Every structure is written in C-alpha cells, then in structure tokens.
Amino acid sequence: DVKVTQSSRYLVKRTGEKVFLECVQDMDHENMFWYRQDPGLGLRLIYFSYDVKMKEKGDIPEGYSVSREKKERFSLILESASTNQTSMYLCASSFETGDSSGANVLTFGAGSRLTVL
C-alpha cells in the first residue's frame, strides 16, 4: 500500500514563527498536494506539485510556500505563522498516468493539526 507520512500529527506554534510541515510518500508518485481542512469549508487546495522542483498555486496559497527538492518529499512552509492558519493540514499524493485513465486517486496522510497561538 502507498503510504503518505506527515512528520507531525500535532503542532503548537506562536504567531510569527516559521513552520515546516513535511510530507513523504513511498510509491514514486508524481503528484503531491497540500490541502487545508476547516469545519464547514471542506478541503481547500493550497499548493500542488507535478514533478520535482515544480509547484503550482492552488485556491488559497497566500501565506504559504512549498518545496519539492526530491520526488518523495513535499514540504509546506508558513513563513510567518498567524492565528488564522490554525487548521488541519492534509498532504496527498497520486500517480499520474498522463492520460485520462483515472489512475489518479489521492492517497492521503493522517494530517497535521496546527495551532498558532
């Protein structure tokens, strides 16, 4: 089974701190994603990456950046954490066939719950 591992399950940070959320997948997936999950808002895409060193903004990229130096690792960075970034962060990956075969089911990590005080 594909595994997507998020390094921290729970984090508590202070306003203004730089925060790194790490995500590693072990099945050579091309695609990796960072979502934010808030009650009543569902999942919102922050950033995604289709290849090493490639990144694209999702729906809510403000206040975040990402890094993908290796295929298996996708990091989400909060340069200066703010209280409105308190949330559950979900990392996901998928295999991309390059056609429309649909072999792109997302595999999610367990989530990182970030509290910014």
List 17, 60, 71, 108, residue binding another protein (CB under 8 A) = 108
Q: How far apart are CA 19 and CA 71, in angstroms?
A: 21
Q: How far apart are CA 43 and CA 90, in angstroms?
A: 9
Interaction between residue 102 and another protein (CB under 8 A): yes
Interaction between residue 62 and another protein (CB under 8 A): no
Give the interface size with another protein as a residue count (CB under 8 A).
Answer: 29
Minimum Å distance from CB 72 to another protein?
Answer: 18
Nearest residue (CB) to another protein, 33 versus 64 = 33
**What is the CA angle 21-24-30, rounded to 5?**
115
Q: How far apart are CA 54 and CA 66, in angstroms?
A: 10
What is the number of H-type helices and E-type strands within the chain? 0, 12
Interaction between residue 42 and another protein (CB under 8 A): yes
Nearest residue (CB) to another protein, 84 versus 102 = 102
Interaction between residue 95 and another protein (CB under 8 A): no
